[in-house]
Structure 1
Amino acid sequence: MTDHNGVGAVRPLTLAWVGRYLEADERVVRSEVLHGGVTAEMRRLTIGTRDGGTRELVLRSFVDPFFLGYAEDLLDREAGALTLLAGTAVAAPGLVAVDPVAARCEYPSLLMTHLAGRTVLDDEGLEERVPLLARQLVAIHAVRVAERPRDYVALTTADTVVTPRGADTAVWAAAIDVIRKPAPPYAGRFLHRDFHPGNVLFDVAPSGPAGARITGVVDWAGASWGPADLDVAHCSTNLALLHGPAWGLRFAEAYEQAGGVLAAVASERLYWQVRDALAFSEEVGLASQPWREAGRAELTTRAVEMRLDAYVTVLMDTPS
C-alpha cells in the first residue's frame, strides 16, 4: 500500500545524500510512503533518468524515537545481509548505500533497489502460497556465509510474556515454563529472522492465485545466525494469526516437505514454536497494525489476541 507524496517529503539532507548515489543527470522526481513496516519509515523513490525514463529505489529511515537506539545495529545487519545475498538464489534488494549513524542524513537510513511484486495477506490462494513460502525459506537457510552474522535475539523472556485476557492461565503458565528452560542445541543457519507473508513479494495474476510466484524477500534488518526452527516458528505464528491456528502447524509441515530440516525431537520443536508465539503476546497491537492497513480490518487487536491464545493452546495440546 502506498501514499503519494512530493519529493519535498524527503528530508533535505537525506535527499542530498540519495543524490550522491545517482547517475549524472538523474534526480528524484517522486516519493511514495510504503506502508506495512513497523520500525522504520519506508519510501519508494522514483528516479528520473537521463534518457527520460524512470527507475525506482527504496529508502528506509529510522525516525521513531523508540527505534532510533536500534537503528545502527539493524541497518548494519541489513546492509550485511543484502551484500551477502547479492548473486545468490535468494531474490533480495540490492544495497545502494547506508548511513547507519546519520552522518549525512537527518536520520539513520539505507538506500536499496526496488523489487517488483506485492505482499499478499488474503485468505484466498493461501493453499498455493504456503508451499512457495516454505520453499523460499529453505532457500534462505541454504545460503552459505563466509562470516556468520550476529546470533539471533530471542525477543521475549518468561517474565515478560503477557497472558491475554480470557485465556486459560494454566495453559499459558505451562507454555511459559517451556521457555524457562535453556534453549535446545541446534545446527546454526543463516536466518532472515522476520520471515512472514508481509515481507515476501508475490507476482499474482489478476485472474486468481494459480501461477503465483515469489519475486523477492525484503526487510533483512534482523538477519541473524540461529536455528532454522526459529524462522519457521516465526512464519508459522504469523500465518496462525493471519489465517487461523491450523495454518501455523501446516507451515512447518510444508517446510519439511520442501526439504527443510527441523529439530528431530518434538520437545525441541515445541520450544521454538512456543518461544516465538509468546513473543507476540507483548506486541499484538503493533504487529497487527500493518495487517489492518493492508485491508484486513477484521484483524483487530482483540481478534488477533484471541487467535494467539488459540494457537498457543493448539501448540500445547499437540502430542510430543
Structure 2
Amino acid sequence: MERSHVPVLPAEIVEFLKPDTTNAGPVVDCTLGEGGHSALLLEHAPDSRLIGVDADATMIERARHFLGPRASQVEFVCAWYDDFWLSYTGARPHRILFDLGISTFHLAGSGRGFTFREDEPLDMRLSDSVMSAAELLSGISQEDLADIIYVFGEERYSRRIAAAIVRVRSAGGLRTTGDLVETVTSAVPAAYRRGRINPATRTFQALRIAVNAELERLRTALPRALAALSPDHGRMAVITFHSLEDRLVKWAFRAASGDESAVGRSAVTAKHSTASKFAPKLIDTVAMPEGERITILTRRPVVPSYEEVAGNPASRSAKLRVVEKTRIEESW
C-alpha cells in the first residue's frame, strides 16, 4: 500500500497542537484520512492517546496501516464527525483537529468521481451511508440543482449549468464525471472555459458538498467539539480549503469567544443564496460550559508558505484557524 496524501501545514499543526503530556485528555483527529497529521502529533507525544475519526472505512484501514506501531495508541472510529460529537461522552480532549480537505486518495485513487480529470462513476461519497451524486442528479429539479451549484459552488453560471444538466439527463447521457464535465463546459461562455480553473471545478465542489452534507455537518460539529474541549489550555484547530468553510469556522470561533456580532452570520454571502433551502443554517450562540472561555489564537488565518505550496500544490488554498480554551479566573 502506497501513501498518496501529504498533510498540509505540518509544522504549524505541530506548533499549535503538540500534545501536552501533563494533560490526560485524548487528542481527537476528526478527519483522520491516512493519518498524516495524527502521526506527526504522536511523534511529539509518544505516550498520548488519540481518537481517529473518519466516515470512510477505507481511510480507517489506510490510516491503521500507515501509522504502523503508533496504531496501538489510536482508537479508530468509523463515523461522520458530527455524529461522533453528538454521542461523545469520553474524557475531555485537550487537542482537536479538523482537516476539511479531500484526501489525495479520494481524488486520485478511489475511483469515486471526486475529480474532473478522470472519467469515473458519478459517486462523490465519503461514506456509502449517503446517496451518490448520480442519485442526487437523477431526481432533483432544475431549480434546486441551480441553487446547489450557486450556494455551494458560488458558481455565477449555475442556472445555465443546471439547465444543461437536466437536458442531458433527460436524454440519458449523464452517467460519468466525463459526461458532467462535457455538459458543464458546453453550458458556459467560451471565455469562461479559458479561465484560471476548469469550468467544472465549482460544480464538482457543489455536488460533493451537497452529497456529503459537508457544511451542515461542520456547522453542527463545531459547537459540540468546542464545548467538549478541555478548559486546561485545550486547543482546537480547523484547516479549511474554500471560503464557505472558512467563513463558517471564523464566525463559529468568534461566537464561541463571546463576539455577539458573529451570531446570526452565514457561511454564504449573496443575499438570495442565504434564503435558499440549501444554505447552511445561521451561526447560533455557541455556549461554553460555565467558567470556561475561548480565546482565538489566529486573528488572521495561517496559510502555507511559498515553499510548502511549491512542494505540495494541493496546500495552496489551505487556511488554519486555532482557538484555546481556559478557565475563567474567579474574582474575589
**TM bin (shorter chain):** under 0.3
TM-score where L is the length of structure 2: 0.26
Higher strand share: 1
